[in-house]
């Protein structure tokens, strides 16, 4: 059997250490590496070794009990969570590691929600029981109240593999399966039947087995591995047509693109053709090499089968999240998105376009960067999760490309949206050009992004032009009127349009679409949005007064404080802009005893809209990339009509 297992957790819970122990135990590595000794098999990069944190989701292969395991170790640091999220989609099972001292932390909850959304069967491992202050019972109770009541403890006494199952575990299963309970009451049930039921429940997300131990001291790890092996079952079929999913993009030293794929079905051989969609375009390309990866080692192979994870060369533009073969066309939408943006700074002797080329490579590997080229200012901007990510990027750019760079102070990534529906029209007709587009813009649900719909009849506008409009709506972030920030949460419907059978050229529909969008924005009400955190702050009772006044200042909304013993917990949501530096302040006034978890909670109306608009100083009439006017043609030459007069001139 082939199984892909991922390690997930809050930073420092012990994912890499546990993975290392599993690899050692299965004879994959001869010596146990240690994160603290900079010798871990899975934290190979210098940056990871120096900082003692995982930055890249690396993988290793191990064999156990006749099965092949692909083990993916993900970063726990929030700044690298997009890398973690990209890995989730290929998991057959996940292991969530939780420290027996720190318990459930902010990022543990984020990881848990994502795993539930993707329906990944999940095991829990309460780690570090050797440390002072470890309390498995307390942490287990926390897990049941904060993550799921369907988590059940499997101790060594339960020993499922020796044909015995403890009655407490049977009870937990029977509670969730009435038929099995009835059968059990009537005639008794074989242990194998209990096991099958439990495995099925795990797959459906109705039950989550929990273990405890010490990854560092090798306590409970063998028991955990045996149960993991017993309870994860996959049924990949190598005989069907090939289906795959891209989970990562990298480049080799020569800049050749390496596409990391998991085969979900079928068999893939070197020189096979592979089909996928890039945007709306269908691409078919030949696979030139297939390689298996194990830590830093890479081996060439002729073929791979369903359930395997491997690297392919020869594929030019499939991106992480894309489906391949019979899965082509499907793409994963990511939830953990950056809330900050920053400018790339470098010496004037380096040509910006050279730097841009390198950043486009990084962008392919981490699409959450959303690398943007500002033609007007000749500057590169990226989206970022946080400061640590920027420090790591500076190193990566130097090591890989030899450029010394720095980043501008990260700024909040504002967005804009509309609050009233409107129809926007754009017409583009300089001499010998022609395109006209009518779009309905409606406020979408918060955090839904831009959604495109088509209500245009093919008799009104031929289908190929309709596709062009769809493409131009989706090809980039569009500037809003207030600050030039990307517009979002808008449903855009193509109502009608017109092409000319001689004069419509490539690019004309882009002009008309952008102008229609912009004219629509001019005609309706625009508001500014900013990112919010969900927060949870825990302080000693004596600090609650200070905390409440700080939260009020930060424009937070929150639930009534909850008291447990001497500790008070406050949960709520607040703008990223007012809370991003609060952890330092909290540590200072609570003398390091207060804890805070900040989890990205989507966009909401900006708390200081007027101030931000003033500070940004965006002039909507001077944006070189956007115009709300339309171009019409008379007596052989084009002339511009301002947005508020353009409707009367439209041809359709
Ligand atoms: N005492 C004790 N320390 C442990 C245990 N497991 C891990 N550690 C230590 O905890 C620290 C973090 O361990 P890692 O394995 O790097 O944690 P991680 O979850 O991979 O961290 P990130 O990848 O940065 O999110 C290291 O100093 C480990 O030696 C354990 O069972 N007991
Ligand atoms: Mg790690």
How does pLDDT run across 378-400, given as a tens digit for each residue? 899 999 998 899 999 999 999 99
pLDDT band at 330 (very low <50, low <70, confident <90, very high): low
The reported pLDDT for the residue numbered 163 is 59
Radius of gyration of the chain (CA): 28
Q: What percent of the chain stands above pLDDT 90?
A: 70
- Determine if ligand 1 sits within 6 Å of the CB of residue 212: no
pTM: 0.85
pLDDT band at 182 (very low <50, low <70, confident <90, very high): confident
- Centre of ligand 1 to C-alpha 436, Å, is 60
Q: Rounded to whole angstroms, how far apart are CA atoms 247 and 56?
A: 13
- Centre of ligand 2 to C-alpha 77, Å, is 9
Q: Which atom of ligand 1 is nearest to the CA of 215?
A: 31
The ranges assigned to domains in the chain are 2-231, 243-325, 340-412, 416-524+619-649, 528-610
User: Taking 60 as the threshold, does the pLDDT of residue 486 lie above it?
Assistant: yes
CATH code that applies to domain 2-231: 3.40.50.300
The reported pLDDT for the residue numbered 561 is 95
User: Taking 70 as the threshold, does the pLDDT of residue 346 lie above it?
Assistant: yes
The reported pLDDT for the residue numbered 229 is 93
- Determine if ligand 1 sits within 6 Å of the CB of residue 76: yes
The reported pLDDT for the residue numbered 583 is 84
The reported pLDDT for the residue numbered 164 is 62
Highest mean pLDDT among 15-19, 26-30, 155-159, 372-376: 15-19
- Centre of ligand 2 to C-alpha 392, Å, is 15
User: For ligand 1, atom 23, which residue shows the shortest CA distance?
Assistant: 54
The per-residue pLDDT for range 447-482, each reduced to its tens digit, is 889 999 999 999 999 999 999 999 999 988 899 999
User: Taking 90 as the threshold, does the pLDDT of residue 183 lie above it?
Assistant: no
The per-residue pLDDT for range 593-617, each reduced to its tens digit, is 888 888 888 899 999 999 999 999 9
Summarize the confidence of residues 550-573 as an average pLDDT.
93
- Centre of ligand 1 to C-alpha 99, Å, is 9
User: For ligand 1, atom 2, which residue shows the shortest CA distance?
Assistant: 128
- Determine if ligand 1 sits within 6 Å of the CB of residue 77: yes
The per-residue pLDDT for range 488-523, each reduced to its tens digit, is 999 999 999 999 999 999 899 999 999 999 999 999
pLDDT band at 106 (very low <50, low <70, confident <90, very high): confident
Separation of CA 395 from chain center: 23
The reported pLDDT for the residue numbered 592 is 80
Q: Rounded to whole angstroms, how far apart are CA atoms 200 and 231?
A: 9
Right CATH for 243-325 from 3.40.309.10, 3.40.50.720, 2.40.30.10, 3.40.50.150: 2.40.30.10
The reported pLDDT for the residue numbered 371 is 94
Please state the φ and ψ torsions of residue 141, each to the nearest 5 degrees: -65, -40
- Centre of ligand 2 to C-alpha 35, Å, is 8
Neighbours of ion ligand 2 (CB under 5 A): 15-16, 54
The ligand minimizing its distance to the Cα of 76 is 1
* Residue that has been written with the tokens 């008799």 in this structure: 459
Which one has a higher pLDDT value, 281 or 91? Answer: 91
Nearest Cα neighbor of 231 from 214, 212, 208, 215 is 208
Q: Which atom of ligand 1 is nearest to the CA of 219?
A: 31
Whether 128 contacts 46, CB under 8 Å = no
- Centre of ligand 2 to C-alpha 406, Å, is 26
> Among 35, 56, 77, which is best to mutate for testing ligand 1, by the most ligand atoms less than 8 A from CB?
35
- Determine if ligand 1 sits within 6 Å of the CB of residue 11: yes
Rounded (5°) CA angle 565-570-571 = 135
Summarize the confidence of residues 51-66 as an average pLDDT.
89
The reported pLDDT for the residue numbered 162 is 57
The per-residue pLDDT for range 412-436, each reduced to its tens digit, is 999 999 999 999 999 999 999 999 9
Domains 340-412 and 416-524+619-649 share a fold: no
User: For ligand 1, atom 21, which residue shows the shortest CA distance?
Assistant: 12
CATH top class, domain 528-610: alpha beta
- Determine if ligand 1 sits within 6 Å of the CB of residue 128: yes
Summarize the confidence of residues 442-449 as an average pLDDT.
92
Q: Which two tokens stand for residue 515?
A: 């102008």
- Determine if ligand 1 sits within 6 Å of the CB of residue 74: no
- What b/e sequence results for 557-583 when a residue is b if at least 16 CB atoms lie within 10 Å of its CB, and e otherwise? ebeebeeeeeebebebbbbbbbbbebb
pLDDT band at 359 (very low <50, low <70, confident <90, very high): very high
- Determine if ligand 1 sits within 6 Å of the CB of residue 218: no
Separation of CA 85 from chain center: 4
Q: Which atom of ligand 1 is nearest to the CA of 213?
A: 31
Please report, in angstroms and rounded to a whole number, the separation of the first and last CA atoms in the chain.
61
Average pLDDT, the chain: 91
Q: Which two tokens stand for residue 316?
A: 């030019």
* Residue that has been written with the tokens 């001077």 in this structure: 622
The reported pLDDT for the residue numbered 281 is 79
The per-residue pLDDT for range 210-237, each reduced to its tens digit, is 999 999 999 999 999 999 998 999 999 9
The reported pLDDT for the residue numbered 444 is 95
- Determine if ligand 1 sits within 6 Å of the CB of residue 131: yes
Q: Which atom of ligand 1 is nearest to the CA of 34?
A: 29
pLDDT band at 160 (very low <50, low <70, confident <90, very high): low
CATH code that applies to domain 340-412: 3.30.70.870
Q: Which atom of ligand 1 is nearest to the CA of 20?
A: 15
Summarize the confidence of residues 191-206 as an average pLDDT.
86
Right CATH for 416-524+619-649 from 1.20.120.450, 3.40.50.620, 3.40.630.30, 3.30.230.10: 3.30.230.10
Q: What is each CA distance from 530 to 233, 339, 533, 557, in whole angstroms?
A: 43, 8, 10, 15
- Determine if ligand 1 sits within 6 Å of the CB of residue 54: yes
- Determine if ligand 1 sits within 6 Å of the CB of residue 75: yes
pLDDT band at 38 (very low <50, low <70, confident <90, very high): confident
Summarize the confidence of residues 289-317 as an average pLDDT.
92
- Determine if ligand 1 sits within 6 Å of the CB of residue 355: no
Pairing mode, strands 93-99 and 2-8: parallel
Q: Rounded to whole angstroms, how far apart are CA atoms 125 and 542?
A: 34
């Amino acid at each position: 059997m082939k199984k892909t297992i991922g390690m997930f957790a809050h930073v420092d819970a012990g994912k890499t250490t546990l993975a290392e122990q599993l690899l050692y135990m299965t004879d994959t590595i001869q010596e146990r590496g240690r994160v603290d000794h900079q010798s871990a098999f899975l934290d190979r990069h210098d940056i990871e070794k120096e900082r003692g944190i995982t930055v890249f989701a690396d993988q290793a292969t191990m064999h156990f009990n006749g099965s092949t395991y692909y083990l993916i170790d993900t970063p726990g640091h929030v700044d690298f969570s997009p890398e973690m999220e990209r890995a989730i989609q290929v998991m057959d099972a996940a292991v969530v590691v939780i420290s027996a001292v720190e318990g459930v932390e902010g990022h543990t909850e984020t990881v848990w929600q994502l795993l539930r959304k993707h329906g990944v069967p999940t095991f829990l491992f309460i780690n570090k029981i050797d440390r002072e202050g470890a309390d498995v019972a307390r942490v287990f109770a926390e897990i049941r109240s904060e993550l799921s009541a369907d988590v059940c403890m499997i101790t060594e006494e339960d020993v499922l593999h020796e044909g015995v199952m403890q009655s407490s575990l049977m009870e937990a299963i029977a509670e969730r399966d009435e038929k099995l309970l009835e059968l059990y009451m009537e005639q008794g049930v074989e242990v194998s039947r209990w096991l099958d039921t439990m495995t099925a429940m795990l797959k459906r997300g109705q039950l989550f087995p929990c273990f405890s131990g010490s990854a560092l001291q090798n306590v409970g790890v063998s028991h955990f591995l045996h149960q993991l092996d017993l309870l994860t079952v996959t049924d990949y079929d190598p005989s069907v047509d090939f289906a795959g999913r891209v989970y990562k993009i990298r480049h080799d030293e020569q800049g050749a693109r390496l596409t990391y794929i998991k085969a979900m079905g079928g068999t893939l051989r070197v020189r096979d053709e592979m089909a996928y969609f890039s945007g709306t375009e269908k691409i078919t390309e030949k696979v030139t090499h297939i390689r298996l990866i194990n830590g830093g080692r890479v081996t060439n192979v002729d073929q791979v089968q369903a359930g395997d994870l491997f690297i392919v060369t020869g594929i030019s533009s499939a991106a992480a999240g894309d489906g391949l073969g019979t899965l082509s066309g499907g793409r994963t939408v990511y939830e953990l998105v950056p809330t900050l943006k920053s400018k790339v700074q470098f010496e004037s002797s380096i040509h910006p376009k050279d730097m841009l080329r390198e950043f486009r490579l990084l962008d392919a590997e981490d699409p959450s960067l959303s690398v943007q080229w500002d033609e007007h200012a000749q500057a590169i901007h990226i989206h970022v999760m946080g400061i640590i990510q920027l420090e790591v990027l500076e190193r990566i750019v130097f090591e890989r490309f030899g450029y010394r760079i720095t980043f501008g102070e990260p700024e909040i990534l504002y967005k804009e949206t509309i609050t009233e529906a409107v129809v926007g029209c754009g017409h583009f007709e300089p001499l010998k050009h022609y395109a006209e587009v009518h779009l309905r813009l409606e406020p979408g649900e918060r955090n839904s992004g831009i959604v495109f719909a088509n209500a245009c009849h093919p008799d009104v506008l031929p289908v190929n032009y309709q596709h062009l409009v769809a493409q131009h709506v989706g090809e980039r972030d569009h500037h809003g009127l207030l600050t030039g920030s990307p517009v979002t949460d808008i449903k855009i419907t193509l109502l009608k349009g017109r092409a000319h059978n001689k004069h419509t050229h490539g690019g004309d529909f882009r002009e008309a679409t952008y102008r229609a969008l912009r004219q629509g924005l001019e005609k309706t009400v625009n508001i500014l949005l900013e990112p919010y955190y969900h927060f949870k702050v825990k302080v000693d009772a004596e600090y609650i007064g200070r905390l409440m006044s700080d939260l009020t200042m930060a424009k937070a909304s929150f639930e009534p404080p909850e008291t447990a013993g001497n500790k008070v917990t406050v949960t709520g949501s607040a703008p990223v802009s007012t809370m991003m530096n609060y952890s330092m302040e909290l540590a200072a006034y609570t003398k390091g005893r207060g804890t805070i978890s900040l989890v990205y909670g989507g966009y909401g109306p900006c708390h200081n809209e007027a101030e931000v608009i003033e500070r940004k100083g965006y002039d909507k009439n001077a944006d070189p990339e956007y115009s709300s006017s339309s171009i019409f043609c008379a007596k052989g030459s084009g002339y511009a009509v301002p947005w508020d007069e353009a409707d009367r001139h439209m041809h359709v």
